[in-house]
A and B are shown apart, each in its own frame.
Chain A
């Protein structure tokens, strides 16, 4: 009896640490299952990240140790120094690759989030000639495999004179279907009353879109920012960009990865580097989702 009491109290104490104060209708057993599931699957999921972080700081002999160890014992910066030396030898300066990737990723992400949201608002909150067809086409387009559209895609790019420019990656990214579909599904939830009353008060569609709709779907476009950033950050531009000085960072780093077993340490450093930037963007946008929405939600 007493034991059970201590147990219940320690669970409650731990729950208070991790759960917001105003949670309603929560039982101790439910909380216990919650904590257990989070810990168990969390460890499982975090594994690759822990692996990549540790490997990047392992000295050469530890990387090849058998049986392999997850955690680094004598951390070193050797892998990063090797990476910098390798990049210094390449005839295109590394800063050029970094610029290419940043340009493509930032312009592509900002453009996609804005254009997709602009297109999503009419489709989510209005019916007009063609709206139903457009809604359907967006969903259908998610279902067609990209391998077979690569060749027609290339023909279009070269007809438009876009091969060997940043725009070969950026323009298609502006119009990815996933973003529009995501934004549309969040905008559908906004009460039509909000929009109608703003319209009666004399607001234009542009004002409604920018001042009412976008702030209400902030969690959606912050999520889309993560997804788009991640995709473009990893884009190699393989089939469209042949000019070495225009190639993105992930292509250049891919060359290093292809350099054989002697470069395993450098590859580990590369993996960490390629992971860190999207993770930072992820953390920033996830915490802003939570800050803005903590006390509101969409009210009917």
Chain B
């Protein structure tokens, strides 16, 4: 008797599942082209990399099993990794939040303008991201000889007499990397904010004015921000992943490897082991650790963002 009931429920469950599947079939069909490609070209390589992090792999011979060895070495024997972690957190804690607020602030300022001027100003602020190779300017600026813009100016004003080797000095390198990174921060999230501000229902502002909203700050906090929660979430994820993965700017500005590892980050460490030393197992372990760090930061920030506008 009891047996029968159980079988019956199982059958029933199966039938229900089929009905549900039939109902949602168009949805699955809509998703399938994207997700087939996504699993083949993104998920599969990522899963492989995580597995490789438990192996020795020099790309010439087949990988051999290493257990937790790569992770043990990373945390207990690799002093340079600790420098990289310290630098990465310092860069991320400064450039992450500032970059995020700057992206929103400028999108909001630009949104105050007439349509044509707005399109133009959006381009102006996005310029560092679209005009590839923008680092050249910063290299000219901080060039170590008397012809570098900064040295020339400071000598001109009589502040210094000898040119300073900005990009060779470990105490200046982190500051310069942070400046350049901030300057490049009006990127993907900035554009998402610009588009998001365009999608806010205009009539909410009129209604708000009637309900006693008196200035642009109240309007921002009570109407604009709550209407833009999805974009705030999106940009937070983008900003976290970008600021914890700083590498390109550091390598371009401070060189690779940089003087006394002053510009060394988790990702430059990963690139060093992956492409210079051909230790793919080790590099994969670094990528996996970074992945976990990003996940943690993301959970934290999402929790905070849920409170916006309340």
Contacts and interface: CB of A to CB of B under 8 A. Distances in A.
Contacts of A145: 245, 267, 270, 286-287, 290-291
Given A123-B31, A153-B45, A180-B34, A19 B298 contact: no
A55 to B, nearest CB: 9
Nearest to B35: A119
A142 B133 contact: no
A227 B267 contact: no
A298 B310 CA distance: 21
B49 to A, nearest CB: 5
Contacts of B283: 147-148
B118 A290 contact: yes
A96 B125 CA distance: 34
A13 interface: no
B209 interface: yes
A25 B216 contact: yes
B68 interface: no
Interface in A34-55: 34, 37-38, 41-42, 44-49, 51-52
A271 B133 contact: yes
Interface string A137-174: 10111111101110111001000100000000001101
B188 to A, nearest CB: 6
A297 B219 contact: no
B127 A151 contact: no
B213 A115 contact: no
Nearest to B203: A299
B35 A134 contact: yes
Contacts of B194: 223, 286, 289
Interface string B274-301: 1100001001101100110011001000
Contact of A171 (B37, B44, B234): B37
A144 B287 contact: yes
A56 B212 CA distance: 54
A46 B112 CA distance: 19
Given A42-B121, A177-B38, A286-B123, A24 B132 contact: no
Nearest to A31: B112
B27 A128 contact: yes
Q: Give the size category of A's interface with B.
A: 35 or more
A290 B270 contact: no
Contact of A275 (B109, B131, B188, B286): B131
B183 interface: yes
B200 interface: yes
A149 B186 contact: no
Contacts of A48: 127-128, 131, 134, 136-137
Contact of B199 (A66, A68, A189): A189
A147 B270 contact: yes
A4 B114 CA distance: 26
Contacts of A147: 267, 270-271, 274-275, 283, 287
B198 interface: yes
A287 B116 contact: yes
A144 B131 contact: no
Contact of B119 (A66, A143, A287, A295): A287
B192 interface: yes
Interface string A4-47: 00000000000000111001111100100010011001101111
Interface stretch (A78-86, A87-95, A98-106, A201-209): A201-209
Contact of A47 (B137, B218, B270, B298): B137
Contact of A151 (B123, B137, B231, B280): B280
Contacts of A41: 106, 125
B206 interface: yes
Given A275-B131, A283-B119, A148 B219 contact: no
B302 to A, nearest CB: 10
Contact of B31 (A119, A177, A234): A119
B237 interface: yes
B85 interface: no
Contact of A152 (B26, B48, B183, B188): B48
Contacts of A177: 38, 42
B30 interface: yes
Contacts of A283: 119, 123
A128 B20 contact: yes
A153 B39 CA distance: 11
Given A23-B112, A67-B152, A220-B199, 18 more contacts: A19-B112, A24-B209, A25-B213, A25-B214, A25-B216, A45-B186, A49-B127, A68-B147, A115-B33, A118-B33, A122-B24, A139-B237, A144-B291, A147-B267, A152-B49, A186-B195, A279-B130, A300-B201
